[in-house]
Chains A and B, each alone.
Chain A
Amino acid sequence: MISKLERANAATPAEPPVTQAEPAVLASEPRMERPSWRRHLAFTNIGVVYVWIAIIVVFSLWAPDTFPTWATVKSVLNQNAIAGLIALALVVPLSARVFDLSVGSAMGLCNVIVAWLLINKGVAVVPAIVLTVAAGLAIGIVNALVVVGARIDSFIATLASGSLMAAAISLISNDQPIIGPALGGSFGKIATSDVAGIALPVFLMLLVAVVLWFVQGYTVVGRRIYATGFNEGGARLAGIRTNRLQFASLIVSGVVAGIAGVLLASQVSSGSPDIGPPYLLDAFAAAFLGATQFGGRFNAWGTVMAVLLLGTGKTGLVLVGAEPWAQSMFSGVVLLAALALTNLERTLEARTWVRERRGRRSQAQTAQA
Chain B
Amino acid sequence: MLGSNDEPRAALRVRGLSKTFPGVQAVREVDLDVAVGTVHALLGHNGCGKSTLIKTLAGVHAPDPGAQAWIDDEVLQLGHPEEAERKGLRFVHQELGIVPELGAVDNVGFVVGFERDRFGRINWRRQAEVTAELLASFGFHMDPRRPLAEATPPERTAVAIVRAVAGWQKGRGVVVLDEPTASLPAHEVDELFRLIRNIRDTGTAVILVSHRLDEVMSIADHATVMREGRVVWDGPTAEMTTAAFVNLIANTEGDEWRDEPPNLPQHPAPADRNVAIEARDVVGRYLRGVDVRVRAGEVVGLAGLLGSGREELPYILAGAQTVGVTGTFTIDGETQAQLSIDRSRELGVALVPADRAREGVIGDFTTRENVSLAGLPQMATNGFVRPGGERGFARRWLDAVSADPNAAERRITTLSGGNQQKAVLARWLSVSPRVLLLSEPTAGVDVGARAVIYEELRRRADEGLAILVASSDVEDLLAVCDRVVVLRDGTVVKELERHDMTKPAIVGAMEGAL
Q: Which residue of B lies closest to A33 (CB)?
A: B23
- Tell me, yes or no, whether B149 is within 8 Å of chain A by CB: no
- Tell me, yes or no, whether B119 is within 8 Å of chain A by CB: no
In the complex, the answer to whether A19 meets B399 with C-beta atoms within 8 Å is yes
In the complex, the answer to whether B380 meets A220 with C-beta atoms within 8 Å is yes
Q: Which residue of A lies closest to B395 (CB)?
A: A16
Interface centre among B251, B346, B418, B446 (most CB of A within 10 A): B346
Instruction: Report A188 CB to chain B, min CB distance, Å.
Output: 38
Contact A237/B318 with A26-B47, A28-B404, A29-B419 known, Cβ cut-off 8 Å:
yes
**Contact pattern, B 318-354, Cβ under 8 Å of A = 1, otherwise 0:** 1010000000000000000000011001111001010
- Tell me, yes or no, whether A196 is within 8 Å of chain B by CB: no
Contact A238/B374 with A16-B399, A31-B23, A219-B380 known, Cβ cut-off 8 Å:
yes
- Tell me, yes or no, whether B112 is within 8 Å of chain A by CB: no
Interface centre among A13, A16, A220, A296 (most CB of B within 10 A): A13
Q: Which residue of A lies closest to B250 (CB)?
A: A25
**Contact pattern, B 371-404, Cβ under 8 Å of A = 1, otherwise 0:** 0011111111001111100000100110111111
- The one of B362, B387, B455 in contact with A218, judged by C-beta atoms closer than 8 angstroms, is B387
- Tell me, yes or no, whether A10 is within 8 Å of chain B by CB: yes
In the complex, the answer to whether A29 meets B410 with C-beta atoms within 8 Å is yes
Residues of A within 8 A of B383 (CB): 2, 219-221
**Contact pattern, B 50-93, Cβ under 8 Å of A = 1, otherwise 0:** 00000000000000100000000000000000000000000000
- Tell me, yes or no, whether B482 is within 8 Å of chain A by CB: no
- The one of B22, B361, B374, B378 in contact with A11, judged by C-beta atoms closer than 8 angstroms, is B378
Instruction: Report B327 CB to chain A, min CB distance, Å.
Output: 20
Inter-chain CA distance A21–B400, complex, in Å, is: 8
The A321-369 residues at the B interface (CB cut-off 8 A) are 346, 349-350, 353-354, 357
Inter-chain CA distance A1–B227, complex, in Å, is: 46
**Contact pattern, A 22-39, Cβ under 8 Å of B = 1, otherwise 0:** 111111111110000000
Q: Which residue of B lies closest to A355 (CB)?
A: B20
- Tell me, yes or no, whether B464 is within 8 Å of chain A by CB: no
- The one of A15, A30, A227 in contact with B25, judged by C-beta atoms closer than 8 angstroms, is A30
Instruction: Report B296 CB to chain A, min CB distance, Å.
Output: 15
Inter-chain CA distance A19–B398, complex, in Å, is: 11
Residues of A within 8 A of B228 (CB): 27
Inter-chain CA distance A154–B195, complex, in Å, is: 47
In the complex, the answer to whether A12 meets B378 with C-beta atoms within 8 Å is yes
In the complex, the answer to whether B396 meets A16 with C-beta atoms within 8 Å is yes
Q: Which of A73-81, A228-236, A246-254, A271-279 contacts B (4 or more CB under 8 A)?
A: A228-236
Residues of B within 8 A of A237 (CB): 318, 320, 341, 351, 353, 359
- Tell me, yes or no, whether B364 is within 8 Å of chain A by CB: yes
In the complex, the answer to whether A14 meets B431 with C-beta atoms within 8 Å is yes
Residues of A within 8 A of B156 (CB): none
Residues of A within 8 A of B430 (CB): 13-14, 16
- Tell me, yes or no, whether B358 is within 8 Å of chain A by CB: yes
Instruction: Report A47 CB to chain B, min CB distance, Å.
Output: 16
Residues of A within 8 A of B488 (CB): none
B interface residues, tally (CB under 8 Å): 79
- The one of A14, A230, A239 in contact with B363, judged by C-beta atoms closer than 8 angstroms, is A230
In the complex, the answer to whether A234 meets B360 with C-beta atoms within 8 Å is yes
Residues of B within 8 A of A227 (CB): 362, 365, 369, 373
Inter-chain CA distance A346–B21, complex, in Å, is: 10
- The one of B359, B360, B378, B401 in contact with A6, judged by C-beta atoms closer than 8 angstroms, is B378
In the complex, the answer to whether B359 meets A233 with C-beta atoms within 8 Å is yes
Contact A19/B378 with A29-B407, A31-B406 known, Cβ cut-off 8 Å:
no
In the complex, the answer to whether B452 meets A239 with C-beta atoms within 8 Å is no
- The one of A19, A24, A31, A231 in contact with B362, judged by C-beta atoms closer than 8 angstroms, is A231
Residues of A within 8 A of B375 (CB): 13-14
In the complex, the answer to whether B362 meets A13 with C-beta atoms within 8 Å is no
In the complex, the answer to whether B347 meets A21 with C-beta atoms within 8 Å is no
- Tell me, yes or no, whether B306 is within 8 Å of chain A by CB: no
**Contact pattern, A 279-293, Cβ under 8 Å of B = 1, otherwise 0:** 000000000000000
In the complex, the answer to whether A26 meets B449 with C-beta atoms within 8 Å is yes
In the complex, the answer to whether B362 meets A354 with C-beta atoms within 8 Å is no
Residues of B within 8 A of A171 (CB): none
- The one of B359, B434, B448 in contact with A26, judged by C-beta atoms closer than 8 angstroms, is B448
A interface residues, tally (CB under 8 Å): 56
- Tell me, yes or no, whether B45 is within 8 Å of chain A by CB: yes
Inter-chain CA distance A94–B21, complex, in Å, is: 29
Q: Which residue of B lies closest to A29 (CB)?
A: B407
Contact A29/B416 with A16-B429, A19-B402, A23-B402 known, Cβ cut-off 8 Å:
yes
In the complex, the answer to whether B24 meets A26 with C-beta atoms within 8 Å is no
Instruction: Report A33 CB to chain B, min CB distance, Å.
Output: 8
Q: Which residue of A lies closest to B375 (CB)?
A: A13
- Tell me, yes or no, whether B415 is within 8 Å of chain A by CB: yes
- Tell me, yes or no, whether B427 is within 8 Å of chain A by CB: yes
Instruction: Report A23 CB to chain B, min CB distance, Å.
Output: 7
Instruction: Report A94 CB to chain B, min CB distance, Å.
Output: 13
Contact A15/B346 with A21-B455, A238-B427 known, Cβ cut-off 8 Å:
no
Inter-chain CA distance A286–B353, complex, in Å, is: 36
In the complex, the answer to whether B359 meets A234 with C-beta atoms within 8 Å is yes
Instruction: Report B444 CB to chain A, min CB distance, Å.
Output: 14
Instruction: Report B446 CB to chain A, min CB distance, Å.
Output: 7
- Tell me, yes or no, whether A4 is within 8 Å of chain B by CB: yes
In the complex, the answer to whether B24 meets A30 with C-beta atoms within 8 Å is yes
Instruction: Report B11 CB to chain A, min CB distance, Å.
Output: 30
In the complex, the answer to whether B345 meets A234 with C-beta atoms within 8 Å is no
Instruction: Report A281 CB to chain B, min CB distance, Å.
Output: 25
Inter-chain CA distance A24–B345, complex, in Å, is: 30
Q: Which residue of A lies closest to B249 (CB)?
A: A25
Instruction: Report A291 CB to chain B, min CB distance, Å.
Output: 11
Q: Which residue of B lies closest to A354 (CB)?
A: B20
**Contact pattern, A 197-228, Cβ under 8 Å of B = 1, otherwise 0:** 00000000000000000000011110110110
- Tell me, yes or no, whether A195 is within 8 Å of chain B by CB: no
For this complex, 15 residue pairs linking A to B, each with C-beta atoms less than 8 Å apart, are: A6-B378, A8-B434, A9-B378, A9-B432, A13-B375, A13-B378, A17-B400, A24-B403, A26-B419, A28-B406, A32-B22, A226-B362, A226-B364, A236-B341, A237-B351
Q: Known A-B contacts: A13-B393, A29-B410, A354-B64. Give 20 more (CB < 8 A).
A: A5-B431, A9-B378, A13-B378, A14-B375, A14-B432, A19-B402, A25-B252, A26-B419, A26-B446, A29-B416, A221-B383, A227-B365, A230-B363, A231-B364, A234-B360, A237-B359, A238-B427, A239-B341, A241-B342, A350-B20
Interface residues, chain B, with chain A CB atoms under 8 Å away: 20-25, 45, 47, 64, 227-228, 250-252, 318, 320, 341-342, 345-348, 351, 353, 358-365, 369, 373-380, 383-387, 393, 396-397, 399-404, 406-407, 410, 414-416, 418-419, 426-427, 429-434, 446, 448-449, 451-452, 455-456, 463
> Which 6 A-B pairs give the minimum distances between C-beta atoms?
A16-B400, A25-B448, A32-B23, A28-B404, A24-B402, A14-B432
